[in-house]
Amino acid sequence: MSEYQLQEIPVGPYRHLVSERAVSGETMLLNMGPQHPSTHGVLRLLLELDGEVVVNCIPDIGFLHTGVEKNMEAKTYQKAEVMTDRLDYMNNMGNNLAYVMAVEKLVDLDVPPRAQALRVILTELQRIASHLVWLGTSGLDLAAMSMFLYCFREREIILDIFELVSGQRMMVTYFRPGGVWRDVPVEFEAAVRNFIKIFPKRIDEYEALLTKNPLWLDRMVGIGKLDAATALQHGVTGPMLRASGVNWDLRKTRPYAGYEQYDFNVPVETKGDTYARYIVRVQELRESLKIVEQALNKLPLGPVHSDNRKFVPPPRSEIGTSMEALIHHFKLWTEGFPAPKASVYSAIESPRGELGVYLEGDGGPKPYRVHWRTPSFDNLSVISKIVKGHLVADLIAILASTDIVLGDIDR
């Protein structure tokens, strides 16, 4: 154990990021993470502290760098999709959607309305699940442990629905270029209706526990204020931007997957503090549930994937009878489909903000370059601005309110 004694962090490499007082030793450099219960993953924060007040905060990321972008270049368009689930592991359906939308835009593929509606239902359920994990873990960070147990109880219902449709709880890979993997089973509607029935009461329960709880308010109101101009300068999107008073939601401003058919509000707060972010997300839970209900009510019948056989494998029944179908199936799964030599950028509103995919093809069956514009990356970059002058305990509240996912940041 002797080789792991306390080590002093040298100021040298961080000289341009810390204040003069750190050099003279007046303030202390403290390492938080990468193994820390409140960093929501493997994030390292280098803090310059004056007593318990944060003078500077230097995030160090990359501890979960997985090489997804490089790995996707080595796989065909269909096979690369499994990588997308594992990026932002709270928003698997959303990542699938962002990726398949980019592929569909690149090769100009149509998606039937039933598949679009299913995509909306499942991504909105995923948004609820993601916000539930956020609410549960934030509660845990701020000493409201029962929130964690309640939120995970409801999340299990959503994961059961995902398992019903895709066979997996988290890494679903359910959306495919041109539609979805296969139609939902008959039990799907009843399962979602059951969730729609019980969930509003559960949100009321969470709100009764937290929204006016004096301890919760003390930890959150006025903490970590972020104004709209700084947020935009730092590329912050999603609930964090909307809590700062900017009404920007890609589901409204650039509707995709048929979001324009549904009636929902975009919750906007103006205070920009930790509490405002909490309010925005809790209201989003209700709005998402509204979308799910509307989409389920008018879920159209019909095919769930495009019948363009150049990109979508033929149904099982056709393979037995049609030679052409067999060839298509074989070609699609051995070679993949070619995409034009061009690039597209397509973005969706993930639970954390704008999740964009830059996809470039080179005429072959593999992507030439995939870049993920991930919301947590930018949302975290602003943290060094907003924690200045707060206590270390407030840093926990601020970090919880940014709702970062390290898989999303490090890719």
Partner 1 sequence: MGVEQKLGNLGIVTTTLETTVNWARTNAMWPMLFGLACCAIEMMSAQAADYDMSRFGMELMRPSPRQSDLMIVAGRVSRKMAPVLRRLYDQMPEPKWVIAMGDCASCGGVFNNYAVVQGVDEVVPVDVYVAGCPPRPEALIHGVVTLFEKVKGEKFKDLVKA
Partner 2 sequence: MDNRLEKIVKVLQEKAGAAYEEFRGEVHVFIAPGQIVDALTFLRDEHQFSLLSAMTAVDYWPKQDPRFHVIYQLTSLTQNLSLQLRVPVSGGLLKLPTATQVFQSANWREREIFDMFGIEFEGHPDPRRILMPDDWEGHPLRKDYPLGYEEPQFTFNFEEIDLRKPYAKE
Question: Which residues in this chain contact partner 2 in the complex, by CB under 8 A?
Answer: 13, 16-17, 61-62, 65, 67, 69-71, 74, 105-106, 108, 230, 232-235, 237, 246, 248, 253-254, 342-345, 347, 354, 356, 358, 360, 368-369, 371, 373, 377-378, 381, 410-411
Member of 34, 235, 245, 258 binding partner 1 (CB under 8 A): 34
Partner that binds at residue 2, options partner 1, partner 2, none, CB closer than 5 to 8 Å by kind: none
Within 13 Å and on the Cβ side, how many CA atoms surround 99?
33
96 binds, among partner 2, partner 1, none (CB under 5 to 8 A by kind): none
3-state secondary structure 216-279: HHHHHCCCCCCCHHHHHHCCCCCHHHHCCCCCCCHHHHCCCCCHHHCCCCCCCCCCCCHHHHHH
Nearer to partner 2, 131 or 411 (CB): 411
Name the binder of 105 from partner 2, partner 1, none, CB < 5-8 A by kind.
Answer: partner 2
Out of 71, 194, 247, 265, which residue is the one contacting partner 1 (CB under 8 A)? 71
Nearer to partner 2, 159 or 382 (CB): 382
The single residue among 125, 133, 291, 383 that binds partner 1, judged by CB under 8 A, is 133
Q: Which is nearer to partner 2, 170 or 228 (CB)?
A: 228
**Closest separation in Å from C-beta 305 to partner 1:** 24
Query: Of 79-108, which residues contact partner 1 (CB under 8 A)?
Result: 82-83, 86, 89-90
| Cβ 134 to partner 1 shortest distance, Å | 12
Closer to partner 1 by CB, 132 or 226: give it: 132
| C-alpha span between 328 and 143 (Å, rounded) | 56
CB of 211 to partner 2, least distance (A): 29
Helices (H) and strands (E) in the chain, counts: 18, 8
- Least Å distance between CB 259 and partner 1? 27
Give the Cβ contact number of residue 25 at 10 Å. 10
| Structural contact between residues 99 and 84, judged by C-beta atoms closer than 8 angstroms | yes
- From 391, 385, 61, 407, select the one nearest 236 (Cα to Cα): 385
Q: Tell me how far apart the alpha carbons of residues 151 and 137 are, in angstroms, rounded to a whole number.
A: 9
- Is 37 a residue that touches partner 1 (CB under 8 A)? yes
Out of partner 1, partner 2, none, what residue 115 binds, judged by CB under 5 to 8 A for its kind, is none
Residue 16 binding partner per list partner 2, partner 1, none, with a CB distance cut-off of 5 to 8 Å that depends on partner kind: partner 2
Applying CB under 8 A, the span of 19-27, 151-159, 229-237, 338-346 interacting with partner 1 comes to 151-159
- Tell me if 200 sits within 8 A of 133, measured CB to CB: no
In order, the DSSP letters of 377-406 are HHHHHTHHHHTTTSBHHHHHHHHHHHT--H
- Contact positions with partner 1 (CB under 8 A) in 160-179: 169-171
Taking the C-alpha atoms of residue 350 and residue 249, their distance in angstroms, rounded to an integer, is 10
The verdict on 7 binding partner 1 (CB under 8 A) reads no
Q: Which two tokens stand for residue 337?
A: 């489909």
| Residues from 198 through 227 that contact partner 1 (CB under 8 A) | none
What residues contact residue 113 under an 8 Å CB cut-off, 6+ apart? Answer: 258, 300, 302
275 phi and psi angles, rounded to 5 deg: -65, -40
Query: If you ran DSSP here, which 8-state letter would residue 305 be given?
Result: B
Who's near 22: CB < 8 A, 6+ residues apart?
11, 28, 29, 48, 55, 56
Q: Which residues bind partner 1 (CB under 8 A)?
A: 1, 4, 34-37, 41-42, 62-68, 70-71, 82-83, 86, 89-90, 133, 136-137, 148-150, 152-153, 155-156, 159, 169-171, 406-407, 410
